[in-house]
Amino acid sequence: KVLTSLDVAGHEMTHGVTSRTANLTYSGESGGLNESTSDIFGTAVEFYANNASDPADYLIGEKLMKSGTGALRSMIKPSADGASADCWYSGVGALNVHYSSGVANHFFYLLAEGTLGGSPSPTCTVGNTRVATGAGTVAAIGRAKAEKIWYRALTVYMTANTNYAAARQATLSAAADLYGAGSPEVN
């Protein structure tokens, strides 16, 4: 039995980075952002490792599960676990931080991979809460750019009490800093 996995190890180490940068409070929406930041960079570690025995994906902790039984969380469709939120809604901050993290996990997946080319990830639409049902399109900017945007947002714009609305603005500001106002990355 595997006692840890690369994405989970990266996830846990990212909590240290977060505590020394934005120091996102571990409750409410900022707690969800704290957890999703660790999921985002844990996933990034897995992609960078390029380990043939643990192919990179957008699943968190799948190597900890018995073969074929899923993962701790999915960034592609967070709500697949029956508890996580794909979309922001007014009550998302009341969820356990591991479940409210789905909002930013879903954002990151769509930003990096987009919806074109048969993505299994629906977009959020007006009225969606926990489960996304939209058929909108999002152009992918790639993981590397998405990682840089999230890291800059975390280290320059987010603070302890950042909520999802402020995180949206932080990522827009970070994307503009890195790629220019009006760039495809900002759009």
Question: Which residues are designated catalytic?
Answer: 12, 98
118 and 128 Cβ atoms separated by less than 8 Å? no
Q: What are the φ and ψ backbone dihedral angles of 91, each rounded to 5 degrees?
A: -95, 5
Q: Which of 130, 132, 128 is nearest to 119 (CA)?
A: 132
Residue 58: enclosing H or E segment and its boundaries?
none
Cα Rg of the chain, angstroms: 15
Secondary structure of residue 12 in the 3-state scheme: helix
